[in-house]
Amino acid sequence: MNNMFRSPLFLMALTIFIDFAGFGLILPFLPFWAEHLGANPLEVGLILTLYALAQFMFTPILGSLSDRFGRKPIIVVSLVIEAFSLALSGLAGSLVVLLIARFLAGIGASNIGSAQAVVADVTPPEGRARGMGMIGAAIGLGFVVGPAIGGLLSPLGSAVPFMVAMAAAMVNALLVIAFLPETHKQRGATKTYPSAKKDSGLGQLLRNKTITRFIVINLLFTMAFTAMEAVFALFSHHTFGWTAKVNGYIFTYVGFIVVIMQGGLVGQLVKRIRERTLLIAGLLMLAAGLALLPWSTSLAFMLVTLALVSAGNGAVTPTTSALLSLASPREAQGETLGFAQGIASVGRIIGPLAAGSMYSLVGPGAPLLMGSVLTILAILIALPTMPVLRKLGATEAIAIEKGEVEEISR
């Protein structure tokens, strides 16, 4: 057990699992707690928007700081901020304090880019997708376990879930302090970005066309999947008359497929078909599933199309992160992955808003078809990177990380 805790990969998966379980634990209570403090429906929505906004702003910042000062101190500080925000949320005596607390919570939860950078630090190129898949599986499990624990705690009072989540965040920080070694080793300037003296690190990264394409792909498929999540309950109620309870079972089904894909299948598939093929295959499954969902008029067909959507999402998420880390220099791993996660959080804001608007203005199936179109656009953006990705074999990828390959991923 002690050796398991000393594995950076396992510890980062555990850290992210506890993070998202804590978020899922309090999520069902937030609207009611906000209403108790006098929030109207618009202000309840603002609470979630502020959380996502903080992640958008601070995920790239924390990732960049982890490149400069090391992964461990940044992750520990973020967990302490998260614990403080949870305590402040549970003790909030006014809506303003709750809004401040949730913004701080978004800052604390901005450590996913740094956690992914740890995975990039400790995994070889051929194992990168499997490592990122473990992070994705941890997120999925957190969302499954967190709400279940929250339900068990609900009879004990509104503040109890916040305090339990706070305690979990503090335990998380102690585990990182005790067991996580510093995985980031500073290196000299890489040849991949010869104009480092002229531009900021982010400017250098965005001039790399391959990295920019992967970030846009990440944004598009995040928008597509979150759009489906936002309106699926309304769509299923319109089509089948399903209640919230039935939709809860359906989302659990989706979550388990994503976890199985990211937790085990991705690593095996990458060995057989490589990351570039898995990325396109995952996007194709997601696009097909979203396109077929509006025509799913039977339970069996619905489960099949949802399996396509879930498996596609489960394949694309870790593969994109793995390819981003392989295409970026080692000293900018945290900044690259953090920026990509920050942009993805924009997708989590835009996707549901666009889906809700299209559902109201066009019809129940329109947001799902919109998601399919966005995913097809992501495929078209990914295809030009295939020649570059063929060069990103294990040897070349290691050379890129060491800064020994010039301009290969441009």
Q: CATH no. for residue 65?
A: 1.20.1250.20
Do 250 and 159 belong to one domain? Answer: no
pLDDT of residue 254: 83
More confident residue, 147 or 394: 147
pLDDT for 167-218, tens place per residue?
A: 999 999 999 998 888 888 744 333 333 333 334 455 666 677 888 889 999 9
Do 88 and 20 belong to one domain? Answer: yes
More confident residue, 219 or 344: 219
pLDDT for 217-255, tens place per residue?
A: 999 999 999 888 878 878 888 888 887 667 767 877 887
Provide, rounded to the nearest whole percent, the portion of the chain with pLDDT above 70: 85
Do 227 and 359 belong to one domain? Answer: yes
179, 213, 231 - which closes a domain: 179
- Answer whether residue 407 is part of any domain: no
Distances in Å between the Cα of 178 and the Cα atoms of 7, 14, 73, 168, 355 are 12, 14, 12, 15, 44
- Answer whether residue 291 is part of any domain: yes
pLDDT of residue 105: 92
- Answer whether residue 193 is part of any domain: no
Q: Which two tokens stand for residue 211?
A: 């990295």
- Answer whether residue 359 is part of any domain: yes
Do 304 and 335 belong to one domain? Answer: yes
Do 162 and 217 belong to one domain? Answer: no
Q: Which two tokens stand for residue 225?
A: 């999947």
Alpha carbons 344 and 132: distance in angstroms, whole number: 16
pLDDT for 11-41, tens place per residue?
A: 888 888 888 888 778 876 777 788 888 887 6
pLDDT of residue 87: 93
- Answer whether residue 194 is part of any domain: no
What Rg value do the Cα atoms of the chain yield, rounded? 21
HEC string of the chain?
CHHHHCCHHHHHHHHHHHHHHHHHHHCCCHHHHHHHCCCCHHHHHHHHHHHHHHHHHHHHHHHHHHHHHCHHHHHHHHHHHHHHHHHHHHHCCCHHHHHHHHHHHHHHHHHHHHHHHHHHHHCCHHHHHHHHHHHHHHHHHHHHHHHHHHHHHHHHCCHHHHHHHHHHHHHHHHHHHHHCCCCCCCCCCCCCCCCCCCCCHHHHHHCCHHHHHHHHHHHHHHHHHHHHHHHHHHHHHHHHCCCHHHHHHHHHHHHHHHHHHHHHHHHHHHHHHHHHHHHHHHHHHHHHHHHHHHHCCCHHHHHHHHHHHHHHHHHHHHHHHHHHHHHCCHHHHHHHHHHHHHHHHHHHHHHHHHHHHHHHHCCCCHHHHHHHHHHHHHHHHHHHHHHHHHHCCHHHHHHHHCCCCCCCCC
Do 207 and 163 belong to one domain? Answer: no
Do 281 and 365 belong to one domain? Answer: yes
pLDDT of 395 > 50? The answer is no
User: Best-predicted range by mean pLDDT among 1-10, 75-84, 206-215?
Assistant: 75-84
Count: domains in the chain = 2
115, 148, 179 - which closes a domain: 179
147, 179, 211 - which closes a domain: 179
pLDDT of residue 203: 64
- Answer whether residue 184 is part of any domain: no
pLDDT for 287-338, tens place per residue?
A: 999 999 999 888 899 999 999 999 999 899 888 888 888 877 777 777 788 8
pLDDT of residue 101: 94
pLDDT for 252-301, tens place per residue?
A: 788 788 888 887 788 788 888 888 889 999 999 999 999 999 998 888 99
pLDDT of residue 84: 96
Do 314 and 395 belong to one domain? Answer: yes
pLDDT band at 364 (very low <50, low <70, confident <90, very high): confident
- Answer whether residue 190 is part of any domain: no
Do 156 and 269 belong to one domain? Answer: no
pLDDT of residue 28: 67
User: Which residue carries 């401040």 as its tokens?
Assistant: 100
pLDDT of residue 410: 37
pLDDT of residue 195: 34
Alpha carbons 281 and 344: distance in angstroms, whole number: 20
pLDDT of 369 > 90? The answer is yes
More confident residue, 232 or 372: 372
Q: Which two tokens stand for residue 47?
A: 């609470």
Do 147 and 232 belong to one domain? Answer: no
pLDDT of residue 76: 95
Do 247 and 388 belong to one domain? Answer: yes
pLDDT of residue 248: 67
- Answer whether residue 341 is part of any domain: yes
pLDDT of residue 5: 59
Range of the domain at 322: 201-401
Do 242 and 381 belong to one domain? Answer: yes
